[in-house]
A and B are shown apart, each in its own frame.
Chain A
Amino acid sequence: MLEKRILIAATIFALAVAGTIAMTVRMFGIGLPTCLTDVRPFREGKVIEQGPKRYEIHYVARMWKFEPAQIDMEPGSTADVYVSTADVTHGLQIVGTNLNLMAVPGAVNFARVKFDNAGDYLVVCNEYCGIQHHNMAAHIHVGAKPPAPPPLAAAEQQPVLEKYGCTACHSIDGSPSIAPSFKALYGSKRTLANGTVVTADEAYLIESITKPDARVVTGFEAMPSIDVAPADVHAIVEMLEKLK
């Protein structure tokens, strides 16, 4: 019967395609995401140098940044990448490689990637994670061996900024981001969207935290409103004064 022969041919076809997939995975050692039920979700991003050209990276994805944000490696390095999320579901793709992992709350994801070519690799979040999703990215630089990383930034010793996720958008070292940097902000002159110039004094900063859309600096979007406890508002302003 013709139908029977077609069915047999179709089944052979499906088996052949499935076999090819299994073979490519084995032969090319494609780092498929692996289930890790024995690793507790971590909250601290880090890079561990395990040997020459061998790295272990712990990426923490959170709204709306990856930690660590910048990693340097030599060409030919192999990295074991572990991903955990501190809040919602995120995606982590190192553009230009086969590494594409989802960060799912409660579980840790893993894959291995080898950087054969030097260059700057963009790490993008490719799962919708809230209103600043499009700004969630990190960088990997593959080139000559870099200098030792700078000491811990001030904000990481300041839990109040972490508590409200401020540093997701506001840098503390003056580097450009989607929101004004906290560095040298206190007391500076700010130009608003309507052209007027204000001084970022205590009153203005308190207003910007509690009523973000009241007076927005030109070139930036209004911050989403975040319910900050009154005591913490003052702690944040004090912190900004220190970063002057």
Chain B
Amino acid sequence: MKIESGLRKIIVFEIALPMVLLIIGIMMGFLQVLYRAGIMRSDSFLGISYYQGLTLHGAINAVVFTTFFAVAFGHAVLRFHLNKPLIESAAWASLVLMTAGTVMAAIPMLTGSASVLYTFYPPLKAHPAFYIGLVLLVVGSWVAFFSWIPTYAAWRRENAGRKSPLAVVGIFATFIVWFIATIPVAIEIIFMLIPWSLGWTQTVNVPLARMLFWFFGHPLVYFWLLPAYVMYYTMLPKLAGGKLYSDFAGRFTFMWLVAFSAPIGIHHQYTEPAIDSTWKFVHAFFTLLVAIPSLVTAFTLAASMEHGARKEGGTGLFGWWRKLPYLDANRWLFSYLFAGLFIFIFGGITGIINASYSLDNVVHNTAWMPAHFHQTVAGPVFLAYLGGSLLLLSSLTGREIAMRKLNVWIPYLWTLGIMTFSTGLFIGGVNGEPRRTNMGLSYANPNSPLYQASWKLPKYLGAIGGTIMTIAMLCFFAVFFATMLGRKRSEGALDLPVSEALHDEDVKAVRSFRPWLVAAALLLIIAYTVPFLDIARAKYEGAARFIPGSPVAQQ
């Protein structure tokens, strides 16, 4: 489909800018595994300190790259599936705001005055520009979302009675979840952290800030996951040569995540004071309910792939698995989506372990946690986003994908890396290895009084896995930038694979967001009213400003 050249430029920019930043983010990740294994025993490398690098790794990979991709992908899906021009001025405004925010937050991170990690827990304080930059990035993504609403409303009026395209429902679910999530964190940053970091207020209520942060922190992961789900439901069956087994399953998954992704944030706070155990348990229960759509997705996609494989001649109870296009360079996106799904099996199971209140006690804040979220965010999400970026780039710029043979292998290499890496971190975590820790200077340093000899094997597995992941990403960057700089073959158009539905059910309950938004509001009221009242009533003493480099409170 031909699209407006303005929108094309916007999408390509929103894909390419974070990809350049991602080079820094990936290199910082590689350094982490070397530091942690004790291979590098230093507090910095090339002037970038360990914790500064860790901040860059999280902020670029998990915040900047994801937000830019979600907006760019949203533009593409809406333009393609609604077949209506978008409000281009709003898309430009969104781009400018997000880029300005990224630059503003990047300067203090790169100069070392915001080494507070991407979760920026107070009372560790970053430079005010870091917080303001984050706000601009989020507001920029809101602008894009709001600008889609009138376009979608117009489509609904013109197509009364027709079901909305599944991909569009998925994108709206993504951004509804994002909007719900970002309100509490905006309150935390704008009303608590910015005035406090500027010195206008002297102290900050940390239990309140933490509860607002995690009110945001969990739906955030569904904001990351949902664009990947859109690709799974609307592209993967087609790439596998079949049809989506159930259209209803997709719609149900999106709606259920709208309702249940937010009232569960306290499952990140099980080991914290200031929250009653009863409410921790309520959040644990709601968390298990949010595992349902992921299980629905796993079975629906397996059925869809089976449908494709059988059409291509696959037989037997398990024999059809051989007929999937694992290494088909013409359907290269299949390998990205399939590898991600494989990793997600383990990421999902460990997620259920973490959500189980009593089990979390053993693994909370240990290396187990980064292993889990690398199998989720750096698994299905990251691979889908890489594949999606490459798809949009080659389609919109009219360039063929470079190094086609290498390209289909990248996701499998990444899978090997991430499975090795996380096996090491899982073992280490169960044995008490802390996360976010420069172990090369203490627990992994034989010269330190804190040296832990028994943590050696898991650390080396982490380093080996991390190295494989880095190699996979170097291959990806080569493919991506060679494609970008390659010769133009055609004018450039927007083309996305579209799966038909095998069972195209029409279930009234999932035709409108309205009942699910009401459910989301009710669940949030149930889940959060009492915990917030408890914190307000307890009147916790405020915390002063601290910077990472000094044990003395700052003026």
Contact B271 A101 (CB under 8 A): yes
A37: which B residues are within 8 A, CB to CB? 274, 534, 537-538
CB of B67, distance to nearest CB on chain A (Å): 23
Contacts between chains A and B (CB distance < 8 A), count: 210
A36: which B residues are within 8 A, CB to CB? 273
Per the bound structure, the CA–CA distance linking A37 and B49 in Å amounts to 38
CB of B42, distance to nearest CB on chain A (Å): 8
B541: which A residues are within 8 A, CB to CB? 41, 105-106
B207: which A residues are within 8 A, CB to CB? 104, 106-107
B92: which A residues are within 8 A, CB to CB? none
B435 at interface by CB-CB < 8 Å: yes
B37 at interface by CB-CB < 8 Å: no
- Contacts A93-B365, A104-B206 given; does A87 touch B551 at CB 8 Å: yes
Tell me how many residues of A have a C-beta within 8 Å of chain B.
Answer: 67
Contact A98 B361 (CB under 8 A): yes
**B19-69: which have CB < 8 Å to A?**
43, 49, 51, 54
A22: which B residues are within 8 A, CB to CB? 281
A135: which B residues are within 8 A, CB to CB? 441-442, 448, 450
B291: which A residues are within 8 A, CB to CB? 14
From A35, A89, A109, A125, B276 is in contact (CB under 8 Å) with: A35
- Contacts A37-B538, A41-B541, A168-B551 given; does A91 touch B273 at CB 8 Å: no
CB of B543, distance to nearest CB on chain A (Å): 4
CB of A227, distance to nearest CB on chain B (Å): 8
A24: which B residues are within 8 A, CB to CB? 358
Closest chain B residue, CB of each to CB of A19: B285
Contact B288 A17 (CB under 8 A): yes
Contact A96 B553 (CB under 8 A): no
Contact A102 B271 (CB under 8 A): yes
Closest chain B residue, CB of each to CB of A98: B361
A62 at interface by CB-CB < 8 Å: yes
B553: which A residues are within 8 A, CB to CB? 87
From B117, B277, B431, B435, A32 is in contact (CB under 8 Å) with: B277
A30 at interface by CB-CB < 8 Å: yes
A174: which B residues are within 8 A, CB to CB? none
Contact B273 A104 (CB under 8 A): yes
Per the bound structure, the CA–CA distance linking A227 and B555 in Å amounts to 11
A208 at interface by CB-CB < 8 Å: no
Interface size class of B (residues with CB under 8 A): 35 or more
**A152-182: which have CB < 8 Å to B?**
163-165, 168, 176-178
Contact A131 B248 (CB under 8 A): no
Contact A106 B548 (CB under 8 A): no
Contact A107 B43 (CB under 8 A): no
Contact B551 A130 (CB under 8 A): yes
B275 at interface by CB-CB < 8 Å: yes
- Contacts A109-B273, A135-B442 given; does A93 touch B123 at CB 8 Å: no
A118 at interface by CB-CB < 8 Å: no
**A79-121: which have CB < 8 Å to B?**
87-89, 91, 93, 95-96, 98-102, 104-110
B277: which A residues are within 8 A, CB to CB? 32-35
Contact A102 B273 (CB under 8 A): yes
CB of B209, distance to nearest CB on chain A (Å): 10
Closest chain A residue, CB of each to CB of B359: A21
Binding site for B on A (CB under 8 A): 3, 6, 10-11, 14, 17-18, 21-22, 24-25, 28, 30, 32-37, 41, 62-64, 87-89, 91, 93, 95-96, 98-102, 104-110, 122, 124-131, 133-135, 137, 163-165, 168, 176-178, 221, 224-227
6 contacts between A and B (CB under 8 A): A34-B273, A104-B210, A122-B432, A131-B549, A134-B442, A137-B442
In the A-B complex, the 7 residue pairs with the smallest Cβ-Cβ separation, listed nearest first, are A165-B551, A95-B432, A106-B540, A63-B551, A105-B543, A126-B434, A109-B273
